[in-house]
Chains A and B, each alone.
Chain A
């Protein structure tokens, strides 16, 4: 298949890393993508390989190497361009690294974090429910009680992705006193610990290989070694932009993959495709502008200024909208061949839907932008 290469010259980053990720994505990952999507194959070897290449730690500071969120997003983009599911799991893992790094908890840093950053161990995130709770959309599903030496947590989280018997993920539980939520804790759940049960979820319309489970915690013990943040809200406020910015890699990648598929039929079908909206050159220009904007935002991933947060939320929303439009347009450009069950083009339509609904979904982003945009006045 003919794929028109996107030149690397627009990247200010580590070319070698992006080239290596691109090779991996176009080769072994592309071969697996359909199995990941529909047959539930979990691409463990791909994730480990991405770790070996250094694609999972670009956003982590190391001695002599500052954190580079732009590079992390660019790597995630290359993965998502070929397989949205794997791109999503890269985000799950990357953001778990942010929790650990920013926790200040030595038990989650040092060698533990090095193993995580290099993909030797794999992590994830169960933050959809707390993020929506903080936005006033849901209530906490996990509940903690203080006990000797820590907390015990009970409750069930639906749909936590990138899990495995030896994986771990960040989660939040509320602490109620006399039935009133007083505070929260954020902690690491180790899937192999006592009291953790992974339960099957029904099938989704795409991305079956993301190892997504409902997680039931029964008296799960959280000690000092598992603690990520207490109190939680200032911590979330601090990492919020980083959390959302990293996600943009998924949208950028899915959109780029869709544009790639439009070009593959251009010579043959250009004479009819010219009558379509959202042509590949227009979409590419919009995508390049958005990418440049996101790279700029990624220079200050821990910004907390109100206008900066609005910009980050809007960039994430724009990436989702562009992925939706590009995937839809790619299907119209390819016609029947893109509609085949084995076609990456129809798979990408479903992936783009995921990008637009995964927390924070487009509607949540807009609601939050509206909230932040409102003038503050006396009550």
Chain B
């Protein structure tokens, strides 16, 4: 092996982008020598695309026989990168990118606490609630919250009524994730995917490293169901703020034609909100009336009557057969077509699939958690089948039943926090809570 390595500041950097030491404070510009003597053009720096070595014209490369001041253009074509051996042609002009914050997605950890504490997965209502409850009961426990979103705190029910109430997307978060984490003195790992649980060694594997835990609380919720007929690149599935924000942005400021497929709770609430905001909405369902599983037939009729003044058309008894980008030559980009089994075709600008929720099972499966329609938890302790792991909120099932409402979450958090902190037991009790249907034109409580 030949050629010495330590020649330029780049030596030692492999293919990991620019060495930090050479980055101009302003960033984004080609790095040049500050001095410009007479008419000499500024020195330039070239980077090896294979290994990241920098060739600085002002310094040359003594070991290759290139004296200081040798222009890159004047280097012989058979010159090789002194670090990795690729040719001159594999170099390009070095443009310093601005320094990205080392880990923009992580908030500062609380004071070092060597015992692995509690790790929470999910930053929806359930995740923040258990974090808050734990912190209230134990001021010193190390708590880490892992979430695939940015962790902002918001009220999900608002997503059903925000347009009609004129709430812009930026007003939906009550508190940023970073501020909430600071307030509760917890570590927030935002934009981080929880990949796998290894219960034997009590570790949560994530896309930003592996976290040891003493207690793990799963609060990752459910996701909007996907169906094979509805290609994800064409159809919105809205169950959290991140996707909702993108959807609102896609709607823009002009009235749009929107098809909402599925006239259950989310479908009806969203369709109503879209129509009140001035969009032209077609609401499709297999059933012959909206909210067929929650309302009596006469209530469904009252709802349809309440919708009469709006541009909201309910189409019942239809099964979607096919969804595709529009084939008609209207010149409108992004137009989509929904074809039904019975031969009807709807041409729209946006499609929202509201076919209910399902709990993702990969994390639970990786830990071998008992599964029964959702993460199977003990009815009173909310413990999963694996020691040290609890779950609450939309991702759990008790005796196979799912109960995806806001009200139980606070009580569930108290139950789990009592177990984790060793406080007096606070057994959870399943109670029936009234269901508020937020169809703004005519709300129901059932």
Contact = CB atoms under 8 A, between A and B. Distances in A.
Contacts of B85: 156, 158, 199-201, 213-214, 216
A370 interface: yes
Given A129-B50, A138-B15, A366-B207, A378 B250 contact: yes
Interface in B167-207: 193, 195-196, 198, 200-201, 205, 207
Contact of B84 (A201, A285, A311, A369): A201
B3 interface: yes
A155 B49 CA distance: 12
Interface string B231-245: 011111100000100
Interface string B249-283: 01000000000000000000000000000000000
Contacts of B198: 286, 289, 318
B15 A155 contact: no
A163 B381 CA distance: 60
Contact of A378 (B80, B201, B234, B362): B234
Contacts of B86: 141, 155-158, 214
Contact of A376 (B207, B210, B233): B233
B196 A314 contact: yes
Nearest to B238: A377
Interface residues of A, number: 43
Contacts of B195: 310, 314, 369, 373
A12 interface: no
B357 to A, nearest CB: 14
Interface in B72-111: 80-87, 89-90
A31 interface: no
Interface in B38-58: 49-51
A363 to B, nearest CB: 8
A180 interface: no
B208 interface: yes
A234 B252 CA distance: 38
A203 to B, nearest CB: 4
A159 B1 CA distance: 12
Given A158-B86, A202-B83, A373-B148, A208 B1 contact: yes
Contacts of A314: 195-196, 205
B223 interface: yes
A289 B201 contact: yes
A156 B236 contact: no
Contacts of B223: 375
B353 to A, nearest CB: 11
Contacts of A307: 362
A370 B192 CA distance: 8
A283 B209 CA distance: 18
Contact of A158 (B1, B50, B196, B236): B50
Given A156-B80, A202-B83, A378-B250, A139 B14 contact: no
Contact of A156 (B90, B243, B246): B90
A377 B200 contact: no
Contacts of A373: 148, 193, 195, 207
B113 to A, nearest CB: 15
Contacts of B330: none
B2 to A, nearest CB: 4
B430 interface: no
B5 interface: yes
A336 interface: no
Contact of B232 (A318, A357, A377): A377
A177 interface: no
Contacts of B193: 369-370, 373
Nearest to B240: A375
B4 interface: yes
A26 interface: no
Contacts of A369: 193, 195, 207
A377 B87 contact: no
Contacts of A203: 1, 5
Of B1, B208, B232, B234, chain A has the most CB atoms within 10 Å of the CB of: B1
A132 B85 CA distance: 18
A23 interface: no
A138 B84 contact: no
A137 interface: yes
Contacts of B1: 40, 200-203, 208
Given A200-B2, A214-B80, A132 B15 contact: yes
19 contacts: A139-B49, A141-B49, A141-B86, A141-B90, A156-B85, A157-B50, A158-B81, A201-B85, A202-B1, A202-B5, A216-B80, A216-B85, A286-B198, A307-B362, A318-B198, A366-B208, A370-B207, A376-B232, A377-B243
Interface of B: 1-5, 14-15, 49-51, 80-87, 89-90, 148, 193, 195-196, 198, 200-201, 205, 207-210, 223, 232-237, 243, 246, 250, 350, 362
